[in-house]
Structure 1
């Protein structure tokens, strides 16, 4: 957990650096038309270093003063213009020195290497915020984009458990917390959080490991959320 010294990963776990330094990421996004309409529907999760529940959604500071969080979007159905984005994943690994709304984010982006050049270019454009829509709302909070990689993203969900692995980069496993009544604990109508009106299902991580660029995290028994999302732009 926290920031350490580590060189960017190379090899089969990360098959190429799409964008580093940050200004190159912007240029890569410009390959896709800013006027193209797009829509993504799917599932969202995050796992972080905060105690359960994460205080951010109640506009409170992170448990440990700073926030380290994995954010993942799985696209059930989506398109950018005529390009289908069905079944693909995007992951952001983010370090924030305090309240997320105060900015100072350092972010690394990972795009599913199963996508074609057209698909990965579209996802880069969308999740960098350059295609407008909900992802653009966080652009001003980001101080540094460490880079953007094409990498295999293995996401699995079974019952109340889910996992994600990016070879040689990250591993995450979490399980929903059972409520008093049948079903998991949920949070609705929180003042902050992912852009979705759907209930957030509260989970507990058994492991969250990450090592890439200059960030190294080792987190367990901490907060997780997942919910649905429905984004469109520009």
Structure 2
């Protein structure tokens, strides 16, 4: 059955800025020996297998080798506690790649599924500052980078990326703490990307 989800997303990792993994389609190594990242997706509207999933948030955390295409990723999924069992199952299938779509292509790179937990989530996005708080497990605030010399205020964008959207706004984090599934880090001051996203299959 066809499905679609759309909304806004942002991510943070421990690269210094403009993560080379994303810019190279996972073919260039990260800035550090391991890549520690979190991606937060807020679904504004969507339907999966006849189930409405709008208004819910999903957060994916991962620890990967510097060269992400090497595989062996450790991945955990955090589900919005506001989701019903039916909604959680539907979103879990989308973000786990079982229903096709963008996440399906990442599935062969995952070496360990650390699990899925349902936690209370607070997600805000004013178009430039993006924030998610997931219980005591995740607390991230990022801001899209706009040069003081940029009179348009449009900020720095990279295009032709493809995943999770074709054009991403580059930025940096002010807060970026993760402590869940045995993965713990603080990526404050490090790279971020953000964008609207629209997926279907």
Judge same fold: TM > 0.5, yes or no.
yes
Residue 12 of structure 2 is aligned with which of 32, 42, 47? 47
Question: Please, which of 40, 61, 64 is the counterpart of residue 96 of structure 1?
Answer: 64
SS at match of 2:11: strand
* Equivalent residue number for residue 156 of structure 2: 185
What secondary structure does 1:208 align onto?
A: strand
1:3-18 equivalences in 2 (<5 Å): none
Distance 2:49 2:187 in 1: 39
Q: Distance in 1 between matches of 2:125 and 2:94?
A: 25
Cα separation, 2, equivalents of 1:166 and 1:44: 15
Q: Deviations over 1:154-211 (max 9, x none)?
A: 1112352121101111100111111332221111224xx52422x2111110111111
Unaligned runs of 5+ in 2: none
- 1:58 alignment counterpart: 23
Aligned to 2:125: 157
Query: Per chain length, whose mean CA-contact separation is higher, i.e. which structure has more relative contact order (CA < 8 Å, sep 6+)?
Result: 1
Root mean square deviation of aligned Cα = 1.4
Matches within 5 A, 1:138-177: 138-177=106-145
C-alpha displacement at 1:124, in angstroms? 1.1
Whole-angstrom distance in 2 between the partners of 1:39 and 1:188? 22
Report if aligned partners of 2:144, 2:172 keep a CA contact under 8 Å in 1. Answer: yes
**TM-score, normalised relative to structure 1:** 0.79
| Structure ID, larger Rg | 1
Residues 37-73 of structure 1: per-residue CA shift (max 9 Å, x gap): 2111111211000011111123321111210000111
The 1:159–1:74 alpha-carbon spacing in structure 2 relative to 1, beyond 3 Å, is closer
User: Residue 12 of structure 2 contacts residue 187 of structure 2 at CA under 8 Å; is this kept in 1?
Assistant: no
Are the structure 2 counterparts of residues 58 and 176 from structure 1 closer, same or farther at C-alpha, using a change threshold of 3 Å? closer
How many pairs does the alignment contain?
Answer: 195
